[in-house]
Structure 1
Amino acid sequence: MLTAIDPTSDRPVFKQIADGLRSEILGGELEAGARMPSEQELMNRLHVARGTVRDAMDLLRAEGLVRTEHGRGSFVRDRPPVRRVAHDRFARRHRDRGQAAYLAELEAEGRRPEVQVLEIARVKVPDEVAVWLQLAIGAEVVIRRRRYLADSEPMELATSYIPLDLAEGTAIEDPNTGPGGIYARLEERGHELKRFSEEVSSRMPTSDEVRALVLQPGVPVFRVVRVAYDTNERPVEACDTVMAADRYVLSYELPAR
Structure 2
Amino acid sequence: MLTLGTVDRTDDRPPYRQIAAILREAIVMGRIAPGERLPSEAELVEHFGVARMTVRQAIQELRAEGLVHPQHGRGVFVLPQVPIRRLASDRFARKHRAAGKAAFTIEAEKSGFIPGVDRIHVRREHANRVVAERLRLDPGSEVVVRERRYLANGIPVELATSYLPVAFAEGTAIEQVDTGPGGIYARLEESGHVLARFAEEVGARIPTLDEQRELEIGAGVPVLTVVRTAYDTNDIAVEVCDTVKVASAYLLEYEFSAR
- TM exceeds 0.5? yes
Q: How far does residue 235 in structure 1 lie from its aligned partner after superposition?
A: 0.8
Greater shift after overlay, 140-149 or 19-28? 19-28
Q: How does 1:101-180 map to 2 (within 5 A)?
A: 101-180=103-182
Q: Which residue of 2 aligns with 1:192?
A: 194
Would you say the 8 A contact 1:68–1:216 is kept in 2? no
Distance 1:230 1:69 in 2: 42
Amino acid across the alignment from 2:210:
D
Change (3 A) 1:172 1:76: closer
Query: Which residue number corresponds to residue 246 of structure 2?
Result: 244
Query: Percent identity, aligned pairs only?
Result: 50
- The aligned counterpart of 1:210 is 212
The unaligned stretches of length 5 or more in structure 1 are 4-17, 43-49
Instruction: Verify the 8 A CA contact 2:83 2:251 in the aligned structure 1.
Output: no
The yes-or-no answer on 1:99 pairing with 2:101 is yes
Measured at CA, do residues 188 and 213 of structure 1 come closer, stay the same or move farther in structure 2, by a change above 3 Å?
Answer: same
User: Residue 67 and residue 170 in structure 1: after superposition, are their counterparts in 2 closer, same or farther (change >3 A)?
Assistant: closer
Cα shift at 1:175? 1.0
Q: Distance in 1 between matches of 2:64 and 2:253?
A: 21
Distance 2:251 2:83 in 1: 10
Amino acid at match of 2:115: P
Kindly indicate whether the alpha-carbon contact (under 8 Å) linking 1:171 and 1:185 is maintained by their aligned counterparts in 2. Answer: yes
Corresponding residue number in structure 1 for 2:12: none
For residues 210-238 of structure 1, the C-alpha deviation after alignment (integer angstroms, 9 at most, x for no partner) is 11111123112211101011111111100
- Matched residue type, 1:161: Y
Map Cα deviations across residues 80-129 of structure 1 (whole Å, 9 max, x no partner).
Answer: 43222222211111101011111222222332222224321121111110
Equivalent-residue separation in structure 1 for 2:75 and 2:179 (angstroms) = 41
> Match for residue 6 of structure 1?
none
TM-score, normalised to structure 2's length? 0.75
| Separation of aligned partners in 2, 1:153 and 1:176 | 21
With 220-229 and 27-36 compared, the bigger mean Cα shift is at 27-36
| SS of residue matched to 2:221 | coil
Closer, same or farther: CA 183–21 of 1 in aligned 2, 3 Å: same
Q: Aligned AA for 1:173?
A: E
Aligned residues: 238
Per-residue Cα deviation, 1:32-51 (whole angstroms, up to 9, x for no partner) = 33648x79x99xxxxxxx9x
Match for 1:255: what amino acid? F
Q: Which moved more, 1:167-176 or 1:102-111?
A: 102-111
Is 2:256 the partner of 1:255?
Answer: yes
Q: Is the 8 A contact 2:227 2:240 kept in 1?
A: yes
Change (3 A) 1:176 1:182: same
Tell me by how many angstroms 1:167 deviates. Answer: 0.6
